[in-house]
A and B are shown apart, each in its own frame.
Chain A
Amino acid sequence: MTIDNTALNNFIRGIKANTPIGLSVFAYGAVLGMICSQKGVEIYHLTLMNVFIFAGTSQFIIVDMWDDLSQIFPIVLAALLINLRYFLIGASLNSLFKNSTIKEKIIYMHLVADENWAVTIERNKHEIITPLFLFGGGVCLFSIWSFGTYTGYLFAGFISDPSLYALDFAFIAIFTALCFNLYQNKTNLIPWTFAAVIAYICEYLFGGNLYIVLGAISGSLVGVLLEKKKYVQQ
Chain B
Amino acid sequence: MYNNEINALIIIFFVAIGTYGLRISGLLLSSKIANEGKIRIFLDYLPPTLLLSFVTPAILKEGMSGIIAMFLIALCMYKTKNIFASMIIGVVTIAISRNF
Is A147 located at the chain interface by the 8 A CB criterion? no
A217 to B45, CA, bound (A): 9
Within the complex, the shortest CB–CB distance from B36 to chain A, in Å, comes to 12
Is A25 located at the chain interface by the 8 A CB criterion? no
* A25-45 Cβ-contact flags toward B at 8 Å (1 or 0): 000000000000000000001
Interface contact A199-B24, CB-CB below 8 Å? no
A87 to B23, CA, bound (A): 5
Q: Residue of B at shortest CB range from A112?
A: B23
Q: Residue of A at shortest CB range from B27?
A: A90
Interface contact A109-B91, CB-CB below 8 Å? no
Within the complex, the shortest CB–CB distance from B61 to chain A, in Å, comes to 9
Within the complex, the shortest CB–CB distance from B28 to chain A, in Å, comes to 7
**Contacting residue for B38 out of A80, A121, A228, CB 8 A:** A228
A191 to B44, CA, bound (A): 12
A106 to B86, CA, bound (A): 34
A112 cross-chain contacts in B, Cβ below 8 A: 23
* A166-184 Cβ-contact flags toward B at 8 Å (1 or 0): 1101101111111111110
A53 cross-chain contacts in B, Cβ below 8 A: 12, 15-16, 19
A212 cross-chain contacts in B, Cβ below 8 A: 50, 53-54
Interface contact B95-A216, CB-CB below 8 Å? no
Query: Do A173 and B90 contact each other (CB < 8 Å), given the known contacts A94-B31, A109-B23?
Result: yes
Interface centre among A98, A167, A220, by most B CB within 10 Å? A220
Majority-rule SS of A interface residues = helix
Interface contact A180-B54, CB-CB below 8 Å? no
Is A83 located at the chain interface by the 8 A CB criterion? yes
B70 cross-chain contacts in A, Cβ below 8 A: 176
Is A233 located at the chain interface by the 8 A CB criterion? no
A139 cross-chain contacts in B, Cβ below 8 A: none
Interface centre among B10, B15, B27, B49, by most A CB within 10 Å? B49
A179 to B87, CA, bound (A): 13
Is A223 located at the chain interface by the 8 A CB criterion? yes
Within the complex, the shortest CB–CB distance from B45 to chain A, in Å, comes to 4
* B17-59 Cβ-contact flags toward A at 8 Å (1 or 0): 0111011111111110001001001111111111111111111
Within the complex, the shortest CB–CB distance from A82 to chain B, in Å, comes to 9
Which residues of A are at the interface with B, using a C-beta cutoff of 8 A?
20-21, 23-24, 45, 48-49, 52-55, 58, 62, 66, 69-70, 72, 75-76, 79-80, 83-95, 97-98, 105-106, 109-110, 112, 114, 118, 121, 163-167, 169-170, 172-183, 188, 191-192, 195-200, 203-204, 211-217, 219-221, 223-224, 227-228
Which residues of B are at the interface with A, using a C-beta cutoff of 8 A?
3-4, 7-16, 18-20, 22-31, 35, 38, 41-60, 62, 69-70, 73-74, 76-78, 81, 83-84, 86-87, 89-92, 94-95, 98-99
21 residue pairs A–B, Cβ–Cβ below 8 Å: A52-B13, A53-B12, A58-B15, A70-B7, A79-B18, A86-B23, A91-B29, A91-B30, A91-B46, A92-B30, A92-B46, A118-B47, A166-B92, A166-B94, A174-B86, A176-B55, A176-B90, A188-B48, A192-B52, A199-B53, A228-B41
